[in-house]
Amino acid sequence: MLKLIFSITLLLTSALSASKAYAPNEDCKACHTQIYDEFSASMHANTTPQKDPIHNAIWSKHPQNKKFQKYGCGKCHTPTAPKMSIPTMDSKLHQEAISCAYCHRIKSIKHHAKSNENITTDKEKEYFGTRKLHIDSPYHSIVTDGNKLMKDGNVCIGCHSHKMNKFKLNVCSTNIKNEMDGENCVSCHMPKIDGTVSTLHKTKKHSFHGFPGSHFNADMLSKYVIIKAKKQTKSFNIKIENHSSHSLLLHPLRVAVLKTSVKRDGKIIKLKDEIFVRVIGHDGKPAMPWKASVTLKDTMLKANETRDVKFDFTLKDGDEVNVTLGWFLVNPKVVKKLGLQDDKMATKFTTFKHQVFKF
């Protein structure tokens, strides 16, 4: 009986959550051709378990999947699909992922202790933008006034602010105030690039909709991390300055690595890697996000932090120090446990920034 009541409640909740209709991404393609291509290759368009092997590996172990058959991740990963419904490849609403229409219809954000909530407009053809001047579109209206979220870049914090689990551990967090010397989520992760915003309204530049991040187009963010080298008498230091308002990497699954070597007389001398990581766990052992109760270790480069990495190595005149800062999307120590040892994205080392210093 209880199972029947739960099933009916879930169906009713799903029906209510699916009451809003959102235009499919394909509808945007005709006018926003370049933006559509950028979006299609981004993580926003590929957040479902069927399109993201790393997310699928975590989701396959989640108790909501194994025991309760409800997709709590859908609040952010598939927001236009019925609430809590299990994503499938043949479900068009799920595979729209974080759709164009969804993001551009966010009118406000409710702040909650566990995680925030996006509130979208009920008007199907009402979209919010950042530009002050727009021509009328035959397909939708554009509202630029009255939506401060779009203008100040805070439209992202409905999903990208924080995620608190049942143990009140903040599993993944940015800076909710979004303060960074005039920069914000949008200005950093949607920088202006060449190309028109629309075929109906020609512009020289538009906001990049490929959303640079740890998966793709990371080089577009490299200017926010500065690397310097300083020679000492019997050692040298590599200084890393993080000028962003959040940690270098946010998800506890990620691992950043500083790889350093010295080229001397044509030979390469590899020095010890410096690891930046945040490990969450329970009872002293690493654990999945829903099981973790504490942070066991945190050496990740923090917001606005400058980190000095010392190498006890005496440099000589003519030495060349090669420095590479990058990351693994999945900690190599857990790749096999997640069944991702053959996945290129999970095992690939992404070079974020490479510099050469000559002495």
Q: Where would I find the H helices in the chain? A: 2-17, 33-40, 53-59, 63, 74-77, 92-95, 100-103, 148-152, 157-160, 185-189, 344-347
3-state SS class at 86? coil
pLDDT for 255-285, tens place per residue? Answer: 999 999 999 999 999 999 999 999 999 999 9
Position 133 confidence tier, pLDDT thresholds 50, 70, 90:
low
pLDDT score of 176: 59
Token pair in block for residue 321 = 């120090």
Given a cut of 80, is residue 222 above it in pLDDT?
yes
Q: How many CA atoms lie within 13 A of 207 on its CB side?
A: 14
Weakest-pLDDT range from 8-12, 36-40, 44-48, 209-213: 8-12
Residue whose C-alpha is closest to residue 337's, from 289, 288, 270: 288
| Average pLDDT value for the chain | 90
Q: What is the pTM of this model?
A: 0.89
Position 48 confidence tier, pLDDT thresholds 50, 70, 90:
very high
What is the CATH superfamily name and number for domain 224-358?
Immunoglobulins (2.60.40.10)
Residue whose C-alpha is closest to residue 95's, from 157, 32, 198, 22: 22
| Beta partners for residue 228, in sequence order | 239
Q: Give dist(CA 59, CA 43) in Å, integer.
A: 16
Position 335 confidence tier, pLDDT thresholds 50, 70, 90:
very high
3-state SS class at 108? strand
Helix H, strand E, coil C: the string for 111-173 is CCCCCCEEEECCCCCEEECCCCCCCCCCCCEEECCCCHHHHHCHHHHHHHCEEECCCCCEEEE
Mean pLDDT of 131-150: 73
The residues, ordered by sequence, that sit 6+ positions from 260 with a Cβ below 8 Å of its Cβ are: 238, 270, 271, 272, 273, 274, 309, 311, 321, 322, 323, 324
* Residue 25 CB neighbour total at 10 angstroms: 21
pLDDT score of 134: 61
Mean pLDDT of 314-319: 96
pLDDT score of 175: 65
Give the Å distances, CA to CA, from 307 to 7, 225, 229, 320. 52, 11, 12, 21
pLDDT score of 140: 84
Q: Give dist(CA 336, CA 84) in Å, integer.
A: 29
Given a cut of 80, is residue 235 above it in pLDDT?
yes
Given a cut of 90, is residue 3 above it in pLDDT?
no
Residue whose C-alpha is closest to residue 335's, from 317, 349, 315, 353: 349
In the chain, what are the domain boundaries? 25-207, 224-358
pLDDT score of 7: 43
